Structure 1
Amino acid sequence: MAAQRTGAPPAPAAPALPTLGGKKSSYRERVADALRAALIAGELLPGEVYSAPTLAARFGVSATPVREAMLDLVKEGLVDTVPNKGFRVTAVSEKQLDEYKHIRALIEIPTVVELARTADKVSLEALRPAAREIVQAAVSGDLIAYVEADTRFHLGLLALAGNAHLVEVVGDLRKRSRLYGLTALVEAGRLLASAEEHLELLDALIARDEQAVREVMTRHLGHVRGLWAAKK
């Protein structure tokens, strides 16, 4: 689902709101998830002001859940309120993006490598549908679906380590990141290669190949800063 920028030409109709992680969530939470994904994907632009009615029309819902969801994003520091106008997307500096990527690498790479020794193969295989959704979203160029499936995959994978606080920290870092280069990757035909790394990672984990897991994770996280975060 792509959010419409104020004053921009109408975008194609958005699909129904998804439920992340297979969990039962409130409509407000589902709207917040979709808005957050649009923000992370760079479809809600930093510095731009978006009104609740405009976003509601784009999502095909009423303004009330959108306004409530945006207030949730205010608490997360992702947007600021602009009196009588709406919400402004907060900017993320190059330094902040570097710091987020560095912290994620410190946490995720050793954690996932350890899963090659400890994770149950059935639990790993259960993540394959999400990995395939990421590939499908890359093929179709659906950036919001891509971000949502990518979030579900990575947080679901980290959850296998049994540390809820670790998952919460990484989840927060992912929310604060911006993937401005996703559109450029789609246009250049490079998003699919990044998407397929999720399947490559699963195969390496199931094969208990720690070296391959480390290599794929290092390469994959490198895209977060080296490709996705670049403003192109």
Structure 2
Amino acid sequence: MTSSEVWAQRIEQVGREAPMGQATLKQSTQNLIRQLLFSGAMVPGEIYSANSLAAHLGISNSPAREAMMALSSQGLLEPVRNRGFRVVELSAHDRHEVYELRVLIEVEAVRRAALRELSEEELDRIIGLAEHSVEVLPATPEDPALPYLNADHDFHMGLVDLMRNSRWSTIVSGLRDESRVNGAYRHLENNQGLHHSAQEHLDIAYAVRDGDAERAAQLMIRHLEYSRPHDYPTSF
């Protein structure tokens, strides 16, 4: 199988696993590229052509390039003159900075969420998101992890969204994207790590429901350990 055929197969597989729904062509293309990044089909350090992607998708070059430029502005891709776009690769130090910020911001968010007077609808949604992450776990090591990764993202963002602070949510979403592109979950896919992570979602959701702020915060600190570069000591 040629490299072009492999690339086309990856695009088709991700498209099946993560249907885009109704959106503009640029947004749909951007969503698909994000899924390619998060699934590992596009890897850090490699260069990808907007023209090649457009050809595989059967669309014009313009929306593909616009989508890749948008992801470049978010720090996930970087333009390479006359060649295309390179997937941004974070150093261990970069990943440690992302981890430290996530601990500071996401732990405080879950602590505050547990202290809020949340509605039954809000609590049901958070518990539902946690349960969904368990439901979509890959049944075997050969099954794709992307459905779980998307459910994991939805759960974490659901917690932060309880703060009703759009800037807080935007910051966390950006940090999580950097983590996912740079393989924060890859070491979990070969063992029971994903199952353990999903169970932690439930534990965090129940602590928020019970209003136990300190337990929720400590559970989140433990949960985020997966994203810490292990050649750096934790300071939390």
TM band (smaller chain): 0.7 to 0.9
Q: Deviation digits for residues 32-73 of structure 1, max 9, x if unmatched?
A: 233224324543211111233544576x55354433211211
Aligned partner of 2:225 in structure 1 is: 222
What's the offset of the Cα at 1:96?
A: 1.0
Mapping of 1:85-164 within 5 angstroms? 85-118=83-116, 119-140=118-139, 141-164=143-166
> Matched residues in 2 for 1:163 and 1:82: separation?
35
> Per-residue CA shift, 1:58-96, capped at 9, x if unaligned?
6x5535443321121122222122345432112111111
Moved more, 149-158 or 178-187: 178-187
More displaced stretch, 188-197 vs 29-38: 29-38
TM-score w.r.t. length of structure 1: 0.79
Choose the corresponding residue for 2:66, options 46, 65, 68: 68
The alignment-based identity, stated in percent, is 30
Report if aligned partners of 2:44, 2:182 keep a CA contact under 8 Å in 1. no
Which range is displaced more, 189-198 or 175-184? 175-184
Cα distance between partner residues in 1 of 2:208 and 2:37 = 31
> If you compute each CA radius of gyration, which structure gives the higher value, 1 or 2?
2
Gaps of 5+ in 1: 228-232
Please give the alpha-carbon distance, in whole angstroms, between the structure 1 residues aligned to 2:35 and 2:130: 17
CA distance in 1, matches of 2:149, 2:17: 15
Which amino acid is 1:172 matched to?
G
Distance in 2 separating the partners of 1:221 and 1:126: 21
CA 1:183–1:102: 2 relative to 1, 3 Å: closer
Offset of residue 192 of structure 1: 1.6
Alpha-carbon RMSD across the aligned residues, in angstroms, is 3.0
Q: 1:6 to 1:197 in 2, by over 3 A?
A: farther
Match of 2:79, SS state, is: strand
Q: Structure 1 residues 183, 189: closer, same or farther in 2, change over 3 A?
A: same
Aligned to 2:46: 48
Q: State which drifts further: 68-77 or 218-227.
A: 218-227
For each residue in 1:120-164, what CA deviation from the matched residue of structure 2 results, as whole angstroms up to 9, or x when unmatched?
A: 342021133433333344325433333322222212221111211
Query: What corresponds to 2:201 in structure 1?
Result: 198
Q: 1:52, 1:63 within 8 Å by CA — same for their partners in 2?
A: no
Q: TM-score, normalised by structure 2?
A: 0.78
Corresponding position: 1:13 with 2:51: no
Q: Distance in 1 between matches of 2:148 and 2:54?
A: 21
